[in-house]
Chains A and B, each alone.
Chain A
Amino acid sequence: MGFRRRKWEERVFRVLMAASTFIVLGSLLMILGTVVIKALPALNLDMITRTPEGGFYLGKAGGIKNAILGSLYLASGATLLAVLLSLPIALYINTYSMRSKAWAVQVRFFLDVLWGVPSIVYGAFGFIVMTLLGMRASLLAGILTVALLELPIMARAMDEVIRLVPSALIDASASLGASRLQTALRVVLRQSLPGILTAMLIAFGRGIGDAASVLFTAGFTDHVPTSLTQPAATLSLAIFFQLGSPIPEVRARAYASAAVLTLIILLVSLAARALSRKLRKHIIP
């Protein structure tokens, strides 16, 4: 093959590769740009501080305070619940289970399976449990479902961080006479705390943005929920329900919800990144 032809082939592919990268990064900019452009006229103080009046779908006045607070309550509750479950699991498979490696492998396998479950299936399952327990569409039901969604994401992220704690460190603590629980809590937690917080943030970001899991379980309402048994509006569903409305004010609420939701996720993502950079400084190699 002539040398000129080889060079030419490389040049062609370089162009294709650069174009592809441009498409990928360009899509991101397009999406963010569209959200900003559409939402900017809609975002004002009123929008954030008022709830929709006259019904979220048909009412003209009001804002998205119901959805903002609903989402925050729901995602926070779900993340908290998920932490209470994920952290012990992640700790267990890395410390206690050191001897029975097979068990840890099994747990990781099932976490992997859960990780791949589509959120609509979590929604369907949440609905089944909800009706089984006699619950109605409510903040609590939503929290339980989203906690299930967040569990594998959080547990896996925590697992990866805790795994990095060198076993020598754990052995050293154990040899000093600490019981297994003390070892786990003091040594491992402190070493991996930034990573654990990052895992929580990542899971929170995923949970707050999801619509399919809360569709059946959290309901929707104009009001800010004041108790766990009340239905809760979410930003994601606010977008979904209000986007197709014939009334422009309602549509504006959908765009505003999209902007607020994207902004929250952006902030969470930045915080997670900043934390993981801190993590790299404090790790004992």
Chain B
Amino acid sequence: MRLLSALPGLLVGCILLGLLLKSRGVLSMQPLSRLLFSTAWKPLKGQFGLLAFLSGTLWVTLAAMILAVPISLLTAVYLSEFAPRFLRGLAKPLIDLLAGIPSVVFGVWGVLLIVPFVARIAPLFGAYSSGYSVLAGAIVLAIMIFPTIILVSLEVFTAVSRDLRDASLALGATRWETVKHVVLRKGAQGLIAAVVLGFSRAFGETMAVLMVVGNVARLPHSLFDPAYPLPALIVNHYGEMMSIPQTESALMFSALVLLLIVFVFNFAARLILTRVERRIQ
């Protein structure tokens, strides 16, 4: 059984190794800097610049975070500190349900509702858009990461002792002031971890975003431009993996880059959370 328990470690190693080995092809063709910082994606000419895709991922993910973080934190604070008990009991299972909805279903909803919505509001901002845009991806992605940030934040708030809140209230603070000055401050590190976890989840999210974001390989310059995130690249070109040389290698390299970024953020979040947990004990 001890051998089996080594499986997780082995798996991590194999995944990293496998992706690395498969990336050798494209890494030997082009220097790392060109792969990461060039926008020239022309597989037939052997050019695999990933900048447009990295940029696309960043645009969509950051926009999604800007939407998701305030809404998630406000919701978590409300559920933890202000909501009547029945609402708290009702909301948690619903949020769990939201977390369980598959990516493609979010994509369907995005295509049906969000894409036309974005197309309709774009002229209000002086832009023209088919609706397939960074904004559409950001909205759908934001909703997908609500549960991640909310549920971790709720745990953080639960860890703040009732007596501490009472101490603030006893000095004549209102409930909101207690939240602002005491609860949020005490839970700040945990909340940062929640946001980082949300970011990492958003970064790796594939299908829903792919279905609404337009998949045009150019650097986006506004929220209404289409984008082409890295995971979408892997999905859309897998058909050419066998036909165009080194495409498979380039896609595996993209997967490796994605994995490493997600890994770093997850690691940081876990580190913060375990430090927070330890301090409470």
Contacts and interface: CB of A to CB of B under 8 A. Distances in A.
Given A89-B7, A110-B9, A128 B78 contact: no
A161 to B, nearest CB: 17
A111 interface: yes
Interface string B200-214: 100111110001000
Contact of A261 (B5, B105, B267): B105
Nearest to A206: B100
Contact of B12 (A38, A114, A215): A114
Contact of B143 (A27, A89, A103, A151): A27
A129 interface: yes
Interface string B105-128: 111110111000000000000000
Interface of A is mostly: helix
A120 interface: yes
B214 to A, nearest CB: 13
Contacts of B107: 239-240, 243
B66 interface: no
B5 A107 contact: yes
A21 B104 contact: no
Interface in B144-172: 146, 150
Nearest to A106: B9
A91 B4 CA distance: 11
Interface in B180-204: 200, 203-204
B99 to A, nearest CB: 9
A113 B106 contact: no
B177 A117 contact: no
B140 to A, nearest CB: 10
A30 B72 CA distance: 18
B5 A93 contact: yes
Nearest to A90: B5
Given A114-B11, A240-B107, A261-B102, A89 B5 contact: yes
Given A16-B74, A17-B82, A88-B4, A24 B105 contact: no
B276 interface: no
Interface string A57-75: 0000000000000000000
B97 A28 contact: yes
Given A120-B231, A211-B103, A239-B107, A27 B174 contact: no
Interface residues of A, number: 77
Contacts of B72: 20, 24
Interface in A26-51: 27-28, 30-31, 34-35, 38
Interface stretch (A6-14, A169-177, A191-199, A224-232): A6-14
A205 interface: yes
B105 A35 contact: yes
B88 to A, nearest CB: 10
Interface in B57-89: 70-72, 74-75, 77-79, 82-83, 87
Given A9-B176, A24-B146, A120-B258, A92 B103 contact: no
B2 A96 contact: yes
A124 B255 contact: yes
A80 interface: no
A211 B74 contact: no
Contacts of B98: 24, 27-28, 31
B1 A117 contact: no
A97 interface: yes
Contact of B78 (A20, A129, A268): A20
A88 to B, nearest CB: 5
Given A10-B175, A212-B206, A107 B8 contact: yes
A283 interface: no
B29 interface: no
A152 interface: yes
Interface centre among B5, B98, B107, B113 (most CB of A within 10 A): B5
A127 B98 CA distance: 30
Given A9-B176, A27-B146, A265 B263 contact: no
21 contacts: A14-B176, A21-B74, A24-B72, A27-B143, A31-B109, A35-B109, A38-B108, A89-B5, A91-B1, A93-B5, A107-B9, A113-B266, A118-B231, A121-B259, A208-B102, A209-B103, A215-B238, A236-B103, A237-B104, A239-B104, A261-B105
Interface of B: 1-2, 4-9, 11-12, 14-15, 18-19, 22, 70-72, 74-75, 77-79, 82-83, 87, 91, 93-98, 100-109, 111-113, 143, 146, 150, 174-177, 200, 203-207, 211, 231, 234-235, 238, 251-252, 255, 258-259, 262-263, 266-267, 270
- Please name the 3 residue pairs, one residue from A and one from B, whose CB atoms are nearest each other, closest first: A118-B204, A209-B102, A17-B78
Given A21-B79, A116-B266, A121-B258, 5 more contacts: A24-B71, A27-B143, A121-B15, A128-B19, A269-B96
